[in-house]
Structure 1
């Protein structure tokens, strides 16, 4: 076949990339669910990270099952790509619909089971959709199509948190989401935090008084506990009013007291009926998702999508029988790199709500978290859209101009989407500085996979370090969020290096790499475990809360990824393999 003459099957491809959108939409929406579940199920931070664990461990389990079955029979060749893809969509739909009984039962473990099933379906879709996108046309433009699909994936990660945030909390209030700390004294800032927490607890009391589902005795007991916290807050606020010129140590004492009251509030076990009432809002977005999965599955079955030719049948089995991961250092080192990369990508954002909720980062409440989640995942969109420019055959000058323009177009989309949701994001404008830094580094890395991976790994580690030490926490949070920019190109770079020189064993190697998405479930647990030291050690470490200090975990991950980018080209060179240029994609 002359691949150069085979045109992209656009009508088929455009229907396929809807699936990529779903992956991003659900994965990013998990970060909105984490603080919600943490609050209403009274979870520790490490327990709340089980949301990410359930979702990403499903990728590992699904890939292993698919791999074991594939040893006996080639599923894709036997059943076809679109039928297998439809099955994956139906599995995810079942998981999405299970959110309804999970919310009705107010069971955290039921929710985790539902998420696991959604992720299980996604693992099947991942295995099918990636190679199918590549094969929908010329081999020379396969990576280009995967790049475009990756951009749609990132669009899903950007707007997913916004839409789920609207479903759970309603349209935003620009006045509430605008930072109020500007032009305020330290004692005024602390008093404002007291007032916000008081209003939240007062709202809970009003709702508890209309609770007809639970035992009156239990409701009254919880109301009494909440009122005690409100009384303590009012007592401290009165003291603040009488001490407007409080010195630094007194301000710290008030902040410490607020932290203690907030901790008591977090540990309140609300009546089951009351919790069910708040969780019922989770049902709607996942019912819509479940229906969408079913509709896309039906569309796939009746679409004109053709299964790729059985070109692989001519491959001799001899190579696969002798295949061993340990024979290829680029592969086993790459498996660890994928594990840590996916882990750090998920961990940075899944622990960010807890960080922003701390006193020094402004005590951001659950309903104002969505814009930050959107900006983080939008950062991956910025990076991937920037990388996708390389796939077009344009002049060097046009390429350079677009590399400055396209990232800011993506940034404007993020701003507009959040503004339309009713939330003020004027504070995000300063993020343009990080985008410029990213663009400069992308020019330095060029299209070389190893060099780009090394530079972005180092940059990610530096950003995490600056987030730990920068004194202004309003700025420091953007160092952490910028991790999304530097994660954006890591998947294709690692993948390209890991499968280089594997020839007929590339398929098996790819399945091992996809299994390592498991890191998205493990690394957040490690970071969440460190966060939970704040529960028993109020003094923190090195002047930081443990939640803040937990971002040393991403530093370690980024350093290893940088090392992999540095060492692998040297390993490949010894094997007589000289790496070509990188093409951007997304997992």
Structure 2
């Protein structure tokens, strides 16, 4: 049968997209692990970003190893797609199972090694699964299948942090996670924050007194430090109680004092046995993930998934011999674009828990972070589902109507999932305005990759600037979270532009682009490094904290992405290449 008339092999394809779900599930769950590890391992913000670094550097290392081996022997043709994919799944399972001894040892570096191995397995899966999805049917519908797979990936990124949050912190408390009462005065809000921190420390003291696995001297030493902080909190609370009509300067003084006490609290090094006890909850979800990886690997090996014809791969050889990245400006500029895109996508959310933890943004604690992580990654789901509408043949009117309906259906799923976890997310409703803005911009961008990338890059710049300057921090955080919306369609747009005109070298160019996922491990470190200036310069910069100011990094990133969207169609035009339509997908 001619490949152009092949039907999509749906039974095989549906088996494959389970892998895409796992990528999203684990990648988004990292953002819950970051504040947990930061707290119990007493890490700086830049150190906590090593979680993202370990995961995304593994993609780069895995791609390089795969590429080097493939120079001597074509792995996919020698072992087949199914077996290679199964090896990647088993490798990720090994990494997931290593979370158990890492938690038992309470070793941050052990956790990073385990996460690196999970990412290494994912790199193999990524290299295999993307082309396999494209080849499971007609070439004309290959991009459509990848779009659907990207939507499943985004579903994983939305659900992952919610489920991991439930495992680590239990079901939510709606009263605890509710937005600030607008009827409270400023001093009452500060008083509530004092009490919240005191309750957290008092809980730790209670658990420390029951600790029978650590050196009693060390336990008593830590208890004394924690109780000193509680005593300082009590002093301030007593002062606030006697000064209910505090003026602006007095409120600021109380807030500053709370920030100093919280900083001392984050520097407390708890006994190793106590830390192990708090990390034991990490074990179960990764045991389940490891078992799931193994089961999917076995299923893949015995499935009816067929390897693509070998002659398809042979076509690449002639063009590959004389291949040079520097012959194609769209490619080397695109490699930098992928590096920056993945970097900014990860950096915005990886540093968001630290931002929300600042006094400016309400001092949100670790157990209430999951809904915001879910909303961010869910924003990518909203954008990709919106882009997926172009896959289906429907009238212009129906298409336009669905462009408005589908994003809000995805938004409703995010709200519903968080409500089921016991969290109060009523404050999320205002996010509908950002979704509406995204829909309008998607109409302006149309189906042209360059124009869409430029518009969404500029939108990202505007959103990050507004997040920096908007006075109401309850609103400002949504400008930062909306970065997920405008990142949502960038992967396929950059990919389409970068490989245009590559012909027989498309496969090799794609492997170089996948290597650039490394950006997800580097750019969050840079932003985290800026956040850490808050320790040495608590007065901040330009009237805001350094953690808040660190969001200038995403601004720079979005500027380049907008530039790439603007300049690349012009580069391609000089080469006599006219771009077609693009569809939404995800890495």
Q: Which bracket does the TM-score occupy, shorter chain normalised?
A: over 0.9
Residue in structure 1 matched with residue 142 of structure 2 by the alignment:
142
Residue in structure 2 matched with residue 433 of structure 1 by the alignment:
433
Residue in structure 2 matched with residue 310 of structure 1 by the alignment:
310
Residue in structure 1 matched with residue 89 of structure 2 by the alignment:
89
1:3/1:140 contact within 8 Å kept: no
Give 1:320 shift: 1.1
The Cα offsets for residues 400-428 of structure 1, whole Å up to 9 and x where unpaired, read as 00000000000000000000000010000
1:24/1:160 contact within 8 Å kept: yes
Separation in 1 of the partners of 2:35 and 2:582?
37
Residue in structure 2 matched with residue 348 of structure 1 by the alignment:
348
2:316/2:507 contact within 8 Å kept: no
The Cα offsets for residues 58-111 of structure 1, whole Å up to 9 and x where unpaired, read as 000000000000100111111000100000000000000000000000000000
Distance 1:212 1:574, change over 3 A: same
SS at match of 1:136: coil
Matched, 1:184 2:184: yes
Distance 1:359 1:181, change over 3 A: farther
CA RMSD of aligned residues (A): 0.7
The total of aligned residue pairs comes to 587
Give 1:314 shift: 4.2
Separation in 2 of the partners of 1:110 and 1:528?
21
Separation in 2 of the partners of 1:412 and 1:165?
19
1:343/1:521 contact within 8 Å kept: yes
2:316/2:505 contact within 8 Å kept: no
Matched, 1:157 2:165: no
SS at match of 2:244: coil
Give 1:21 shift: 0.1
1:49/1:524 contact within 8 Å kept: yes
The Cα offsets for residues 218-262 of structure 1, whole Å up to 9 and x where unpaired, read as 001100000000000000000011111111111100000000000
Give 1:583 shift: 1.6
1:103/1:276 contact within 8 Å kept: yes
Return structure 1 stretches of 4+ with deviation > 4 angstroms: none
Give 1:312 shift: 2.5
Once the two structures are superposed, the pairs formed by residues 553-572 of structure 1 within 5 Å of their partners are 553-572=553-572
- Unaligned residue ranges in structure 2 (runs of 5+): none
Once the two structures are superposed, the pairs formed by residues 441-460 of structure 1 within 5 Å of their partners are 441-460=441-460
Distance 1:255 1:91, change over 3 A: same
Tell me the TM-score normalised to structure 1 length. Answer: 0.99
Separation in 1 of the partners of 2:342 and 2:134?
22
Separation in 2 of the partners of 1:226 and 1:487?
42
Give 1:318 shift: 3.4
Distance 1:270 1:407, change over 3 A: same
Once the two structures are superposed, the pairs formed by residues 217-228 of structure 1 within 5 Å of their partners are 217-228=217-228
Matched, 1:117 2:126: no
Once the two structures are superposed, the pairs formed by residues 24-35 of structure 1 within 5 Å of their partners are 24-35=24-35
Residue in structure 1 matched with residue 4 of structure 2 by the alignment:
4
Distance 1:525 1:313, change over 3 A: closer
Residue in structure 1 matched with residue 534 of structure 2 by the alignment:
534
Separation in 2 of the partners of 1:29 and 1:315?
40
SS at match of 1:158: helix
Separation in 2 of the partners of 1:455 and 1:5?
36
Separation in 2 of the partners of 1:513 and 1:436?
32
Give 1:316 shift: 6.1
Separation in 1 of the partners of 2:313 and 2:486?
39
Residue in structure 1 matched with residue 478 of structure 2 by the alignment:
478
SS at match of 1:360: coil
